[in-house]
């Protein structure tokens, strides 16, 4: 059985926290590959500060610099004319790969709002979910909304063995990077001092060469 992870996000810009989650999922869950995929941002949300092409190219650079061929950048969502919800993306993948174990990767901050996502109830029918702790977002069962506690009671798997194509819920630890894309953009606008601690050398070079986020080419 092929085991494939999917990590979506705005990647505006991609940083070490994103890559760290992908690598941790790859190694700890024994995945065959992890796809990192920039989202098409819906019109009613704050748009990315840079173009889709720039977000994708930065992601490709960051993935290549890991030296891990199991990590791949995909433009699947960006090629779509309209915004796709997570449930729609996973349903399309499931249709194309009915026997693949899919693992949707997210951070704890996203998990705590998961019950507000469109058609969230169907996602664990289509894929497994791996939730990574982040600084300030460690799971406290008492703080979970009732809907999430109910999902945990039915789907939680306490070891890291992906045995089924869907339906497993895993809580993971990863190297903490106390940074967000928003904070990183602010660092870049202020002259990018310290930004190199949180992103790959190639991505920072690309940002500078193209004058992204207020930097000077």
pLDDT digits (tens, 9 = 90+) for 72-107: 999 999 999 889 999 999 999 999 999 999 999 998
Lowest-confidence range among 76-80, 117-121, 170-174?
170-174
pLDDT score at 135: 60
Q: Provide the CATH number for the domain around residue 76.
A: 3.40.50.620
pLDDT per residue as tens digits for the range 121-149: 999 999 999 999 866 556 766 678 999 99
Q: Is the pLDDT of residue 116 over 60?
A: yes
pLDDT per residue as tens digits for the range 21-57: 999 999 999 999 999 999 998 766 788 899 999 999 9
Neighbours of 39 (CB within 10 A): 20
* CA–CA dist 156, 139 (Å, integer): 13
Flag whether 202 is in a domain: no
Flag whether 207 is in a domain: no
Flag whether 193 is in a domain: no
Flag whether 192 is in a domain: no
Flag whether 216 is in a domain: no
From its phi and psi, is residue 68 left (phi > 0), alpha (psi between -120 and 50) or beta?
beta
* CA–CA dist 148, 86 (Å, integer): 17
Specify the pTM: 0.93
Q: Is the pLDDT of residue 63 over 70?
A: yes
Look-up of token digits 């989650």: 21
| Domain residue limits at 105 | 3-179
Residue 43 CB-half CA count within 13 A? 2
Flag whether 131 is in a domain: yes
Flag whether 184 is in a domain: no
- Structurally, the chain folds into a number of domains equal to 1
């Amino acid at each position: 059985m092929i085991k494939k992870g999917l990590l979506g996000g705005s990647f505006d810009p991609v940083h070490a926290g994103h890559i760290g989650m992908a690598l941790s999922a790859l190694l700890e869950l024994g995945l065959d590959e992890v796809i990192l995929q920039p989202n098409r941002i819906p019109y009613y949300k704050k748009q990315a500060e840079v173009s889709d092409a720039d977000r994708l190219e930065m992601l490709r650079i960051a993935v290549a610099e890991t030296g891990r061929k199991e990590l791949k950048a995909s433009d699947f969502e960006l090629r779509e004319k309209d915004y796709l919800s997570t449930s729609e993306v996973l349903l399309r993948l499931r249709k194309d790969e009915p026997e693949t174990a899919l693992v949707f990767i997210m951070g704890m901050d996203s998990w705590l709002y998961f019950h507000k996502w469109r058609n969230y109830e169907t996602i664990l029918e289509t894929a497994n979910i791996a939730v990574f702790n982040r600084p300030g977002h460690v799971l406290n069962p008492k703080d979970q909304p009732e809907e999430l506690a109910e999902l945990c009671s039915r789907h939680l798997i306490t070891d890291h063995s992906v045995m089924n194509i869907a339906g497993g819920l895993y809580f993971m630890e990863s190297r903490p990077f106390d940074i967000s894309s928003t904070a990183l953009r602010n660092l870049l606008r202020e002259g990018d001092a310290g930004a190199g601690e949180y992103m790959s050398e190639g991505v920072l070079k690309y940002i500078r060469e193209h004058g992204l986020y207020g930097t000077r080419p």
